[in-house]
Amino acid sequence: MKKLVCELCGSNNFTKENGYWICDHCKTKYTSEETKKIMVEGFVDVTVDKSDELKNFKKLAIQYYNA
């Protein structure tokens, strides 16, 4: 399996957020097209940040509760 390796710092820990792959170490952003260029053989751990969605759902729940 291929894994992402950051061109700037060499880290292989990334988070996908708002359509970008973001290096967890140096915060460099890569588009999906760019990630194809920096893939190497190996394994990778991916985390998906959905905190913005959670905040939005909480805000909507409070609004509907108070209505």
pLDDT in tens, 8-56: 998 989 999 999 999 999 999 999 888 888 876 556 566 778 788 888 8
59 touches 29 (CB < 8 A): no
- For 45, the 3-state DSSP assignment is coil
Q: What is the pTM of this model?
A: 0.55
Domain residue limits at 16: 2-66
State how many domains the chain has. Answer: 1
Contacts of 16 (CB under 8 A, 6+ apart): 22, 46, 47, 48, 49
- Say which residue the tokens 């973001």 belong to: 22
- For 13, the 3-state DSSP assignment is coil
- Backbone torsion region of residue 55, taken as left when φ is above 0, otherwise alpha when ψ lies between -120 and 50, otherwise beta: alpha
